[in-house]
Amino acid sequence: MKVENLGVEQRVTQLRQQLQKANYAYYVLDDPIMEDAVYDQLYRELDNLEKEHPQLITPDSPTQRVGDKPASQFVSVTHNIPLYSLENAFNLDELKAWKNRWQRYSEKEDLDTIEYVCELKIDGSALALTYENGLLIRGVTRGDGTTGEDITQNIRTIRSIPLKLNLDNPPPMIEVRGEAFLPLDEFDRINQEREEKGEALFANPRNAAAGTLRQLDPKIVDQRRLQFFAYTLHLEETEISSQWQSLNYLQNSGFLVNPHRKLCQSLDEVADYFKQWETARKDLPYMTDGVVVKINDYSLQKALGFTQKFPRWAIALKYPAEEAPTIVKDIIVNVGRTGAVTPMAVMKPVHLAGTTVQKATLHNSDRISQLDIRVGDTVIIRKAGEIIPEVVRVLKELRPPDTQPYEMPDRCPECNSLLIRPPEEAVLRCMNLSCNAILKGSLVHWSSRDALDIRGLGERIVVLLIDNELVNSIADLYYLTPEKIANLERMGSKSADNLIKAIEGSKQQPFSRVLYGLGIRYVGSVTANLLTENFLSIDQLSQASFTSLCSVYGVGGEIAQSIIDWFSIQKNYDLIQQLKKVGLQLEITSSEKNTVESSLTPLSGKTFVITGTLPTLNRTEAKTLIEKAGGKVTGSISKKTDYLLLGENAGSKLIKAQELGITQLSEADLLAFLQTE
């Protein structure tokens, strides 16, 4: 290398390091070390040198934050580690109930001395960032927790996310989780600009942040100045043993970590922290709706594990929903895909918990009678769980004269069929399976991501198909052709071709997704998976008895009866025959069947609880062996427990198992059991 080139390389390295330090000081420490004009001048010098010597450009250079070309689309990727959502608590009593629940799963002594980490719950979008040898290589949205979208190009524009970790010896691989959010002043600036341009305003900072992250052009993302708080670290072979240590490690690595975090020595300290920020949060420069409480000790976190949906060792303690008064302009009813008729209050628009609200649920006729709500009333509304707007009470002293009590309709507003109120239900239902409202809901559900995942078949297209009498059932989708739909509003030949290909492709979706897509009441995606593991075809399931359905782990009497009722309807039987005819997967394929059959071991469907210290296996190893053999390990003894795996120094679980007559196994018994497979 020539001497002058060596000098250029040194200068580029110096500039890069200086600008990275300046970024860290400005965006993370909030303590600038240089004037903006100086930063701009050094940045321009680095940019010019890299343009003259492109071989010197590296991915971690400050000039590489914003890509030159917009992305054509985002690629879906599977998370290395699932991003679980958090269980919610809405008051301090529910926080104490959470503590009581996780303690039942713990063998640890001195549970009253457990430390907790409190962090403000930021109202933004969760991201997962992967660093290889200290360099950012991938950034993914949370998505559904299992699969997200690769938006690395956009994530690189966020100045509080380091492109290179501030570590001398970074680990080979590290994953960082956190929340991307839009500061309130930036949210106001963006909406002001959109208003001046005549564009629709963002409803709240959270939606604006989520929409910004999914922009195909990273230059737009860069202009919106998102921020990022890091809060979770996944790092193998590390001496970090607690959440508090992780947060400090993240900050030392170059991330912005919320400065208001606190290490609490008791649940009383957590309660004090929660009360302190209930009012103080209103002065923060970003939106927050609660406090995330985590058990600090990683070993205890690992021992507690997860439920099907949540980590047992963390909870989101939410602040009370914001309330606001408004006026009821009308009361309407909506008909859902199950035929449920839900009354809704249409109101004068009001700003509530960061969004503009115009409709609120009234739940059912009993709730309407209880409220005595009428058109023209002034009402107080809030967001249940800060998500669904609902009417809390009516200010009857402000009621206009001559108002009339509201009466629910006796006929379906969509098809004019007589509405029925089933016994022991508070909901009116349309029982006409040909009702357009039920059909619309069924088709939207059928095409949803967790069901058949038919891209392009959203609610707008579904309505057009129904209004143009092109579909009268789910099966009709599979008789559509590009020629039949190309003339629909805003469709076109290319979109028509793509939609038909997506519909045709859905025939390859597995039986479990088809079953979920049928929309049987109470049968969610998890239950659909359980059912297809135990009933290998739709014919087996349709003929299953109440007892055999209830024998499936996770299926109770209510679900079992709902399945039986669904298959007893002739129109549903006809639909299954039509779906068979067009080629949907209504049974486990041979490869899936082999997988299921091979998983039927002596432990299949058996529930274990482990207590005490085993001779050679640690608890994680024993749990892995049981689960690989088809068993399930839980943390507490109940009537549903099949076996207690017993080690030395067993505690109260042994006493309870003896009381319930539960079979006890030693480690040797378990290993012998597994050898008989």
* The pLDDT of residue 550 is above 70: yes
The reply to whether 79 falls in a domain is no
Write the CATH number for 499: 1.10.150.20
Domain final residue pick, 477, 507, 537: 507
Spatial distance between the Cα atoms of 628 and 638, rounded to a whole number of angstroms:
22
251 in the same domain as 173: yes
The reply to whether 48 falls in a domain is yes
Write the CATH number for 653: 3.40.50.10190
267 in the same domain as 125: yes
The reply to whether 447 falls in a domain is yes
**189-200 residue pLDDT tens:** 888 887 777 777
* The pLDDT of residue 548 is above 80: yes
657 in the same domain as 552: no
Q: What average pLDDT score do residues 44-53 get?
A: 83
Q: What average pLDDT score do residues 478-495 get?
A: 88
Spatial distance between the Cα atoms of 141 and 83, rounded to a whole number of angstroms:
10
270 in the same domain as 228: yes
**411-420 residue pLDDT tens:** 999 889 888 8
Q: What average pLDDT score do residues 473-497 get?
A: 90
Q: What average pLDDT score do residues 478-482 get?
A: 94
* The pLDDT of residue 452 is above 80: yes
369 in the same domain as 276: no
Write the CATH number for 277: 3.30.470.30
Range of the domain at 641: 607-675
Least confident of 66-70, 261-265, 282-286, 382-386: 66-70
Domain final residue pick, 251, 283, 318: 318
Predicted confidence at residue 72, as pLDDT, reads: 53
**393-448 residue pLDDT tens:** 888 888 888 899 999 999 999 889 888 888 777 788 888 877 889 999 999 999 99
**584-624 residue pLDDT tens:** 999 987 655 555 444 445 676 788 888 887 877 777 778 77
211 in the same domain as 109: yes
Least confident of 203-212, 308-317, 578-587: 203-212
Q: What average pLDDT score do residues 239-251 get?
A: 94
Give the number of other Cβ atoms within 10 Å of residue 288's Cβ: 22
- Give residue 503's pLDDT band: very low, low, confident or very high (50, 70, 90): very high
Give the number of other Cβ atoms within 10 Å of residue 195's Cβ: 11
Reply yes or no on whether 121 is catalytic. Answer: yes
Write the CATH number for 334: 2.40.50.140
Burial of 211 per CB tally in 10 Å (0-12, 13-18, 19+): middle
Average pLDDT, rounded, for the chain:
84
Spatial distance between the Cα atoms of 585 and 474, rounded to a whole number of angstroms:
14
* The pLDDT of residue 294 is above 90: yes
The reply to whether 659 falls in a domain is yes
* The pLDDT of residue 134 is above 60: yes
389 in the same domain as 282: no
The reply to whether 404 falls in a domain is yes
206 in the same domain as 108: yes
* The pLDDT of residue 267 is above 80: yes
Predicted confidence at residue 367, as pLDDT, reads: 87
Q: Please give the full DSSP string across 420-438, using - where no structure is assigned.
A: E--TT-S-EEE--TT-HHH
Task: Say if CB 640 and CB 620 are below 8 A apart.
Answer: no
51 in the same domain as 107: no
Q: Which residues are annotated as a binding site for NAD(+)?
A: 36-40, 85-86, 119, 142, 179, 294, 318
The reply to whether 600 falls in a domain is no
Q: What average pLDDT score do residues 100-115 get?
A: 80
- Give residue 158's pLDDT band: very low, low, confident or very high (50, 70, 90): very high
Spatial distance between the Cα atoms of 151 and 76, rounded to a whole number of angstroms:
9
Alpha-carbon distances of 197 from 191, 192, 194, rounded to whole Å: 10, 9, 5
Of the candidates 2, 21, 121, 581, the residue annotated as catalytic is 121
**Identity at 613, one-letter amino acid code:** T
Q: How many CA atoms lie within 13 Å of 663's alpha carbon, on the beta-carbon side?
A: 9
Q: Which residues are annotated as a binding site for Zn(2+)?
A: 412, 415, 430, 435
Total number of domains constituting the chain: 6
- Give residue 30's pLDDT band: very low, low, confident or very high (50, 70, 90): very low
The reply to whether 599 falls in a domain is no
Q: What average pLDDT score do residues 124-136 get?
A: 93
**Pairing status of strand 314-318 against strand 88-89:** parallel
441 in the same domain as 353: no
Full-model pTM: 0.51
- Give residue 275's pLDDT band: very low, low, confident or very high (50, 70, 90): very high
161 in the same domain as 58: no
Percent residues over pLDDT 90 in the chain: 35
Q: Which residues are annotated as a binding site?
A: 36-40, 85-86, 119, 142, 179, 294, 318, 412, 415, 430, 435
Predicted confidence at residue 81, as pLDDT, reads: 84
Q: What average pLDDT score do residues 541-564 get?
A: 86
Q: What average pLDDT score do residues 88-106 get?
A: 88
The reply to whether 71 falls in a domain is no
Domain final residue pick, 301, 318, 335: 318
641 in the same domain as 526: no
